[in-house]
């Protein structure tokens, strides 16, 4: 469910940016595990990395979900910057279909399963890798 929600959020952000012709953000709040899609902005850029911290309030977006408490986020990066300690981070999707580089590894301790969810920057499409042998090096 967590992977599905994350993929759906990215899909909504990409579609919204393209169809409305305005940048759209996937907003990730580590504190409560919420993800949402909102119009771009509301954050203060965290350098050229694209990560941001913001005081904007939840809601007003086109999609929102909350990751299960049983899911552990082992890695979260935007443009190769670790966002694990940020209160809020934003992955920008542009009207031309591109997006920030985004990677997240989700871990389910009960089953030992891991999934790498990542965006392809030139298309804004999401890819999921379920074979940890192909991505465990990113955790090291």
Residue pLDDT, tens place only, 13-60: 999 999 999 999 999 987 788 999 999 975 433 332 343 333 333 444
CB burial of residue 65 (10 Å; 0-12, 13-18, 19+): middle
- Please state the pTM of the whole predicted model: 0.82
pLDDT of residue 136: 67
Question: Which residues on adjacent β-strands are paired with residue 89?
Answer: 28
Q: What are the pLDDT digits (tens) for 52-104?
A: 333 333 444 679 999 999 999 989 999 999 999 999 999 999 999 999 999 99
Q: Distance of alpha carbon 16 from its chain centroid, rounded?
A: 15
Query: Do 100 and 78 contact (CB within 8 A), yes or no?
Result: yes
Q: What would the two tokens of residue 80 be?
A: 């190769």
Q: Could you give the 3-state DSSP secondary structure of residue 102?
A: strand
pLDDT at 86: 93
């Amino acid at each position: 469910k967590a992977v599905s929600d994350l993929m759906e959020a990215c899909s909504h952000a990409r579609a919204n940016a393209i169809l409305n012709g305005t940048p759209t953000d996937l907003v990730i709040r580590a504190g409560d595990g919420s993800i949402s899609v909102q119009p771009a902005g509301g954050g203060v850029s965290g350098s050229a990395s694209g990560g941001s911290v913001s005081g904007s309030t939840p809601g007003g977006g086109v999609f929102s979900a909350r990751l299960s408490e049983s899911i552990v986020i082992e890695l979260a990066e935007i443009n190769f910057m670790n966002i694990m300690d940020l209160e809020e981070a934003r992955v920008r999707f542009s009207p031309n279909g591109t997006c920030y580089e985004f990677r997240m590894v989700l871990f389910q301790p009960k089953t030992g399963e891991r999934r790498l969810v990542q965006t392809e920057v030139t298309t804004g499409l999401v890819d999921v890798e379920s074979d940890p042998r192909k991505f465990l090096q990113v955790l090291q």
